[in-house]
Structures are given as C-alpha cells and as structure tokens.
C-alpha cells in the first residue's frame, strides 16, 4: 500500500489524526481544544531542529501565543515537571503541546496535569485511588505529537516520572492526562537514526507483547496487541533499514499507539525490570525492554505458550511453536542491531538484589502472567546481564 493512502481520523481511544504531513493541522488542533496560548514542551535535542521552529511558526501565523519549554532529561524527573510548571504559569499558558519522544510526552502530560493543582506531583502516584485527589477542572488540554514510534504515550493516561531524590520511576495517572487530540505524522520520524528507530520500535513490540501475555481478561486489548505485533513484524526491519520509508514509518507509529492502547490490559516483567534499570542506570527504556524481551518470554513460557502460538500463526511465522516465536524475536533483535545482554550496554550485577526488590514492587509486575518473587526477578535480570538465555 502506498503511504499516501494511509490516512484517517479515528476516535479510539482518543481523537487521532493519522497521516503524512498532518502536522500542518497543529494550530487548528490547539484551537479545537480552546487554546490561545499553548506551551510546546519538548526535549533539548528536538528544540534545536527545524520541525519545532516550524510548529512554532505555524501556531504564531494562526494567531496563537506559543511558548517553548525544553529542559527535559531522557528519563524525565519530578524537577523537570516542576520547571515546566513554572514556565507554564509564568507564560500564562492555557494548554500544552506535548511534542517528542516518550520522555517529552510524559513530562508534558504531567505539566498539564499539574497546571491547576494545589497538591504535589507525587500525591498523584498511581497507587490505590490517589488519582481521585486531582482537581479535574485544573488539568490543561493537551495536543500530543509523537516524534518517535515506541512509547505510545500519546494514547495513554499516565506518565512515568523519575523521583530524583529516591531514584525510583513512578507512574502518575489521571484519566484526563489522555491527550485530547493526537497527530500521528510519520514525516516527523524520518530523521530518527536506525539505533533509535530500533530501540523505540522494540518498546512498541514489548507493549503489545506484554499486553497480550498479561493474564487479565480483555479481548479488545488482545486483538489490538496481535495486530500491533504483526505491524512490528512487517515494518520495523524496513523502518530501520530505510528511515525514509514513509509507509513503514506510518505503520510503526500506529503500532506504537496500539501497544499503549493494548497495555490498559497490563504490562509485565519486561517493564517491571526496565523501570528500575532505567532509574538506576539511566539507560534507554526501549533498549532495556528489547534486551530483556526473550528472557522474560522464556521465564513465562508455561503460562503464555498458547497465546504466543496463536500470535505466531496470526503474524504468519513458518514455525508457529513457542520456540519459533522466540526465534523470531531473537532474529528481529539481531537484525535491528539490539545487543543480546544487558552487560553489553554497561549494566553490571552489583545491584541485582535491589533491582529484584524494585521489580517486584513495580506496578508493571502485577501484569506479569507469573507472580515472580524479588529473588526470581534478580535471577532473571542476572541471566539477561550475562546473556544466558
Ligand atoms: Zn515501554
């Protein structure tokens, strides 16, 4: 299919405008949500690129008073959110454009949440019914524009923010953190280097896979997850091999949104380990999930075998056994240049015990099909560090 035919307006799970070149609708989207003075929140790397300057120029030309905030780390921190909030209030903004990869989108969604709150960010950590403490009227409207295809944060109702003091990744949740409008424009992703395309694309795969394997009953999410896995199977190698392949880029950005839509069903052991590893080693989230993927799948084998074999049939593998699926994951990982062990990206075994404890306490652990103990997570992580599948 030609990428020019890949265009659509969807209302599932939120309002999505998908298609090449649709960033041209940004100012219109801001106005549709009632914004006159949006704050565009992005990361420092993107802030220097023409695509951000063009987005600002488009909004100004449409009569919007736009501001820019870009002091965001790769794994956004509570301090980043506080700083963004200061910029939001100083500029008297009335909405947020969340523009960038997962880090920028998560930070921007948290700033929008905090715009009209009197409590602190950590009071809204996704524990129990903390989210009901939020003054819902005070949540600013959000237009989300992902520039990577991985996290799917544009269709999610939560942000992952690192508590700087405790070096813990915390999930901040509120239903109104779901962006009002999303623009999925593959043109914004063509400049991503192959390594980033690979790591973010594998994050999208991990979301679809963990959602598929999570034990909760949610057939809608399961259907989405299987198609998301198929899109990664068909298009991630193409997007990595040729960054200009707009059809592959379009399909991957949709696969990413699908992964995050599906993981309302739950995540699992990959994310339970990737969160502490990201907080302790400041490593790339997608890269961590990509490396951990086969180890976690294998550890869950007896419980997930049937669904994995169903998925193997659906995506058209020649060998539709669990082992055939695992072989495909290993081959895909190698093909897109992901290392086989955590040791290869500089993660050592010095904090294994702590990692195990943090993994079992991570909110994602509840979605793993087997409730591993801290010791089991430590052992699993140790195998991934050494490369012993
Ligand atoms: Zn993820």
Q: What is the pLDDT of residues 104-116, one digit of tens each?
A: 999 999 999 999 9
| C-alpha of residue 242 to centroid of ligand 1, in Å | 24
Distance 339 CA to ligand 1 centre (A): 17
Q: How far is the CA of 289 from the centre of ligand 1 (A)?
A: 7
Distance from residue 259's CA to the centre of ligand 1 (Å) = 9
pLDDT at 1: 67
Query: Do the beta carbons of residue 260 and residue 224 sit within 8 Å?
Result: no
Report the C-alpha gap between 101 and 29 in whole angstroms. Answer: 19
Burial class (CB in 10 A: 0-12, 13-18, 19+), 338: buried
Distance 252 CA to ligand 1 centre (A): 15
Pairwise CA distance, residues 220 & 38, whole Å: 34
The overall average pLDDT reported for the chain is: 96
The Cα–Cα gap between 89 and 10 comes to 32
Q: How far is the CA of 170 from the centre of ligand 1 (A)?
A: 13
Ligand 1 centroid to Cα of residue 232, in Å, is 15
Torsion of CA 109, 235, 3, 154, to 10 degrees: -10
Per-residue pLDDT, 73? 87
Ligand 1: distance of its center to the CA of 60 in Å?
A: 34
Calculate how far, in angstroms, residue 203's C-alpha sits from the geometric centre of ligand 1. 5
The residue assigned the tokens 């050494």 is 386
Distance 151 CA to ligand 1 centre (A): 6
| Partners of 161 in beta bridges | 170
- Taking the centre of ligand 1 as the mean of its atom positions, its distance from the CA of residue 262, in whole angstroms, is 12
What is the Å distance from ligand 1's center to 103 Cα? Answer: 11
Give the pLDDT confidence score for residue 4 in this predicted structure: 86
Question: Which residues does residue 18 pair with via DSSP β-bridges, in sequence order?
Answer: 8, 184
pLDDT < 50 positions in the chain: none
CA of 46 to the centre of ligand 1 (A): 21
pLDDT for position 146? 98
């Amino acid at each position: 299919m030609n990428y020019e035919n890949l265009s659509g307006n969807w209302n599932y799970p939120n309002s999505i405008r998908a298609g090449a070149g649709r960033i041209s609708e940004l100012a219109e989207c801001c106005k549709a949500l009632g914004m006159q003075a949006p704050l565009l929140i992005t990361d420092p790397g993107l802030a220097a690129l023409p695509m951000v300057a063009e987005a600002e120029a488009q909004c100004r030309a449409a009569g919007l008073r736009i501001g820019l905030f870009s002091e965001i780390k790769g794994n956004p921190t509570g301090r980043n959110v506080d700083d963004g909030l200061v910029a939001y209030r100083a500029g008297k903004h009335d909405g947020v454009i969340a523009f960038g990869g997962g880090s920028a989108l998560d930070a921007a969604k948290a700033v929008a949440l905090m715009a009209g709150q009197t409590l602190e960010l950590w009071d809204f950590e996704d524990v129990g019914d903390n989210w009901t403490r939020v003054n819902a009227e005070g949540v600013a409207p959000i237009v989300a524009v992902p520039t990577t295809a991985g996290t799917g944060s544009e269709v999610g109702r939560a942000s992952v923010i690192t508590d700087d003091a405790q070096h813990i990744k915390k999930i901040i949740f509120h239903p109104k953190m779901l962006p009002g409008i999303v623009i999925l424009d593959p043109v914004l992703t063509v400049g991503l280097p192959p390594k980033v395309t690979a790591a973010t694309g594998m994050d999208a795969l991990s979301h679809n896979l963990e959602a598929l394997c999570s034990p909760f009953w949610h057939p809608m999410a399961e259907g989405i997850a299987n198609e998301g896995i198929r899109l990664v199977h068909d298009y991630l190698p193409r997007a990595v091999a040729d960054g200009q392949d707009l059809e592959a880029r379009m399909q991957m950005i949709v696969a990413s949104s699908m992964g995050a839509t599906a993981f309302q069903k739950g995540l699992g052991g990959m994310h339970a380990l990737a969160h502490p590893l990201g907080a302790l080693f400041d490593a790339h989230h997608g890269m961590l999930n990509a490396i951990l993927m086969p180890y976690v799948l294998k550890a869950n084998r007896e419980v997930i075998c049937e669904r994995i074999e169903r998925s193997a049939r659906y995506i058209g593998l020649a060998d539709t056994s669990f082992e055939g699926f695992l072989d495909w994951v290993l081959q895909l990982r190698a093909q897109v240049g992901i290392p086989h062990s955590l040791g290869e990206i500089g993660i050592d075994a010095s904090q294994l015990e702590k990692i195990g404890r943090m993994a079992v306490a991570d909110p994602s652990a509840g979605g793993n099909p087997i409730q591993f103990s801290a010791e089991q997570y430590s052992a699993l992580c140790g195998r991934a560090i050494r490369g012993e599948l």
